Amino acid sequence: MNTKVHKDFHGALSCAFQFLEERYGKKDLQKFLERVGENCYLNLINEVKSNGLLALEEYWRRIFTLEEGIFEVERNNDSLTLKVKRCPAITHLKEVGYPIYKDFCIQTRIVNNIIARETNLICSVESNQEEACCIQKFWRAK
Partner 1 sequence: MISCTEFILAYNELFSFLEENYGKQAVIEFWEYISEEFLVNLDRLVREKGIKGMEEYWTHTLTEEKADYEMTVKINEFEIYMKKCPSIDILNNTGVKKYPSYCEHCDLLYRRIIERYGFFYNIEFIDREKGICRLTVKKRR
**Residues at the contact surface with partner 1, assessed by CB under 8 A:** 2, 4-13, 15-16, 18-20, 23-24, 28, 31-32, 35-36, 39-43, 63, 66-67, 84, 87-89, 98-99, 107-108, 111
CB of 141 to partner 1, least distance (A): 25
CB of 101 to partner 1, least distance (A): 11
Terminal CA-CA length for the chain: 46
Beta-strand pair 121-128/133-140: antiparallel
CB 123 within 8 A of CB 116: yes
Tell me, rounded to whole angstroms, the distance of Cα 6 from its chain centroid.
17
User: Which of residues 20 and 116 has its CB atom nearest to partner 1 in the complex?
Assistant: 20
CB of 142 to partner 1, least distance (A): 28
User: Which of residues 7 and 140 has its CB atom nearest to partner 1 in the complex?
Assistant: 7
Vertex 46: Cα angle to 60 and 106 (nearest 5): 50
User: Which of residues 5 and 54 has its CB atom nearest to partner 1 in the complex?
Assistant: 5
Sheet containing strand 133-140, edge to edge, reads: 70-75, 79-86, 133-140, 121-128
CB of 63 to partner 1, least distance (A): 4
